């Protein structure tokens, strides 16, 4: 499969939004009474490959990961809560072909900014948001606000099936509608490279 050619995000991350570099993931840690793992902001150009081409771009993460891994993504919701029209969930994206986790994250979705059909699909918790945006043809833009390096803790290791201390990379992204209103705020953390994963090659079964 050809390498993904995503739209490039600025090499240097913009100013971190008021919610912080890992909002809304911080909400789930706070609810669990846990401290966030150690993290440091990095510029996009300092993110090493293959993380850079998976994180430093202006595209949605679901299709980016599907292109890289050569298989559709499956959603697993680990926790969710709702405050009015703000819907929070802690999620993992899994490879459809072998069930391995390829992303851990958290998302805050503004439900009242979606049409009824898309809102209902979001609340069913069956599909990644990126898939819903595609299938429902929802116009939006993606604007990463921060890239970071994070030391994995027990929660991240458990979700991504890791052991020991791991240095991982992620981003804080916001999706906007054509009017400039945020549709979703997202934290996306990827597992380490070199775990036996590789991009699919042309002709390989998915």
Pair 147, 133 in one domain: no
Mean pLDDT for the chain? 88
Q: Each residue of 92-105: pLDDT tens digit? A: 999 999 999 999 99
**Contacts of 156 by beta carbon, 8 Å cutoff, 6+ apart:** 37, 104, 150, 162, 166, 168, 189
Provide the sign of the torsion angle of the four alpha carbons 111, 176, 73, 79, taken in this order: negative
Instruction: Note the Cα 177 to chain centre separation in Å.
Output: 18
Pair 100, 126 in one domain: yes
Task: Look at strands 101-110 and 182-190 and give their pairing.
Answer: antiparallel
In a domain, 162, yes or no: yes
Pair 109, 81 in one domain: yes
Q: Could you tell me if 110 and 83 are in contact, meaning their C-beta atoms sit under 8 angstroms apart?
A: no
* pTM of this structure: 0.86
In a domain, 92, yes or no: yes
**Between residues 13 and 42, which one has the greater pLDDT?**
42
Pair 115, 158 in one domain: no
Pair 124, 151 in one domain: no
* Final residue of a structural domain among 117, 139, 161: 139
Pair 84, 41 in one domain: no
Pair 101, 113 in one domain: yes
Q: What tokens were used for 152? A: 């994995």
In a domain, 77, yes or no: yes
Pair 148, 166 in one domain: yes
In a domain, 41, yes or no: yes
Q: Each residue of 144-199: pLDDT tens digit? A: 999 999 999 999 999 999 999 899 999 999 999 999 999 999 999 999 875 534 44
In a domain, 30, yes or no: no
Mean pLDDT lowest among 7-16, 27-36, 114-123: 7-16
In a domain, 97, yes or no: yes
- Nearest CA-CA partner of 193 in 68, 93, 70: 68
Pair 132, 148 in one domain: no
Pair 101, 131 in one domain: yes
- Domain interval for residue 54: 37-58+141-176
Pair 135, 154 in one domain: no
In a domain, 189, yes or no: no
Number of domains in the chain: 2
């Amino acid at each position: 499969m050809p390498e993904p050619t995503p739209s490039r995000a600025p090499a240097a991350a913009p100013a971190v939004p008021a919610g912080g570099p890992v909002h809304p993931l911080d909400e789930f840690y706070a609810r669990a009474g846990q401290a966030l793992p150690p993290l440091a902001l990095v510029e996009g150009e300092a993110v090493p490959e293959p993380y850079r081409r998976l994180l430093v771009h202006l595209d949605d993460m679901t299709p980016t990961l599907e292109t890289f891994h050569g298989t559709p993504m499956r959603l697993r919701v680990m926790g969710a809560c709702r405050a009015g029209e703000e819907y929070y969930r802690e999620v993992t994206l899994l490879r459809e072909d072998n069930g391995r986790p390829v992303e851990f994250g958290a998302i805050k979705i503004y439900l009242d900014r979606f049409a009824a059909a898309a809102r209902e699909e979001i609340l069913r918790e069956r599909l990644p948001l990126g898939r819903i945006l595609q299938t429902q043809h929802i116009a939006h833009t993606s604007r990463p606000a921060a890239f970071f390096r994070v030391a994995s803790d027990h929660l991240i290791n458990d979700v991504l099936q890791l052991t020991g201390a791991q240095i991982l990379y992620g981003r804080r992204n916001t999706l906007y509608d054509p009017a400039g209103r945020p549709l979703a705020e997202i934290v996306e953390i990827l597992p380490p490279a070199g775990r036996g994963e590789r991009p699919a090659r042309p002709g390989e079964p998915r």
